[in-house]
Amino acid sequence: MTDNNNVIDAEEELNLTNRTVARKAFGEEINAVRGSVEVPGDGEYDRKFHLLPSGAAAGRVHIVGALTRVDELDNDANTIIAEVNTDQHSGKVTLLVGQRADGVRSQITNADVPSWVSVVGNLNVRNPEEDDVDEFDVSLDVESFAEVDQQRYKSWVARTAEQTLDRIERREAGAQLILEKDGEEMDLMVGAEAGDLAMPDFRDSIAKLLEDEFDVGGPDPEASGAAEAAAD
């Protein structure tokens, strides 16, 4: 591995020898995901990671926020669609739960709306150039789901802000995500189109969220639920 402070070991960073790391990310960043990279696997199939705009590859993400909607997906009674708001500005994340995830499906359908929840899921990005959609459609295929309290949400916000800002700083410093495979090194960020990593200025959003959360109280799930009801 190249000796360079801006070089990140992809195998360690992505935990390729075990289950991939679930990245903490705010809804604004999750909804801005566009590009992806294929990582050579040891078996028959490659592993796919999506590119977070702050400069990291992620297959799974972890969010905490206010559950504001639980419904059957239109024209598909076998799929549950839900929404979690990670902040009160632009942080709404869509969740999808299929028939195979019976345990999670039951947890979500029995959860209070609104309530604080913690979710781990696999990123699912539908591209208008490849899928039957008019615009990019980002969602999470839910892997685990639990109701939590507001203190858990506050802790997640603080940790997620720290990790997001750290990713931005590493990317701006020119960090490379290097995978060593069969004696060769490959930068997973190379090959992604420039637009795939176009980065909105998340710093302003994070600063506003931290101000709201620790001075005001963050996205009140009761208020979020009332807003959803008013919009229906």
Per residue in 121-158, pLDDT (tens digit) is: 999 988 877 777 677 889 999 999 999 999 999 999 99
Which range of 53-67, 110-124, 166-180, 196-210 scores highest in mean pLDDT? It is: 110-124
Please report which confidence band the pLDDT of residue 229 belongs to, taking 50, 70 and 90 as the band edges.
very low
Q: Which carries the bigger pLDDT value, residue 168 or residue 197?
A: 168
Distance (Å, whole) CA 153 – CA 159: 10
pTM of the model: 0.79
pLDDT the model gives residue 96 = 92
Distance (Å, whole) CA 91 – CA 219: 10
pLDDT the model gives residue 13 = 52
Query: Alpha carbon 34 to chain centroid distance?
Result: 12
pLDDT the model gives residue 121 = 94
Contact present, 168 and 202 (Cβ < 8 Å): yes
Q: Of all residues in the chain, what percent carry a pLDDT higher than 90?
A: 34
Please report which confidence band the pLDDT of residue 187 belongs to, taking 50, 70 and 90 as the band edges.
low
Distance (Å, whole) CA 8 – CA 188: 10
For the chain, what is the mean pLDDT? 77
- CA-based nearest residue to 123, from 134, 110, 136: 136
Structure token pair of residue 223: 């208020």
- CA end-to-end span of the chain, whole Å? 55
pLDDT the model gives residue 193 = 47
Instruction: Reply yes or no on whether the pLDDT at 2 is more than 50.
Output: no
pLDDT the model gives residue 199 = 61
Contact present, 140 and 23 (Cβ < 8 Å): no
Residue/partner pairs of 42-47 with CB below 8 Å, 24 or more apart:
47/16, 47/20
Distance (Å, whole) CA 136 – CA 11: 29
Cis previous bond, 200, omega within 30: no
Please report which confidence band the pLDDT of residue 176 belongs to, taking 50, 70 and 90 as the band edges.
low
What does the pLDDT average to over 178-193?
Answer: 59
Contact present, 186 and 178 (Cβ < 8 Å): yes
| Fold for the domain defined by 7-231 | OB fold (Dihydrolipoamide Acetyltransferase, E2P) (2.40.50)
What does the pLDDT average to over 107-129?
Answer: 91
Distance (Å, whole) CA 1 – CA 220: 47
pLDDT the model gives residue 156 = 95
Q: Of all residues in the chain, what percent carry a pLDDT higher than 70?
A: 66
26-48 tens-digit pLDDT: 999 999 888 787 776 666 667 78
Distance (Å, whole) CA 37 – CA 189: 8
What does the pLDDT average to over 54-71?
Answer: 90
Task: Using DSSP bridges, classify how beta strands 60-73 and 76-85 pair: parallel, antiparallel or unpaired.
Answer: antiparallel
Question: What are the structural domain ranges in the chain?
Answer: 7-231
Structure token pair of residue 204: 């302003």
Distance (Å, whole) CA 104 – CA 203: 33
Distance (Å, whole) CA 94 – CA 100: 18
pLDDT the model gives residue 136 = 81
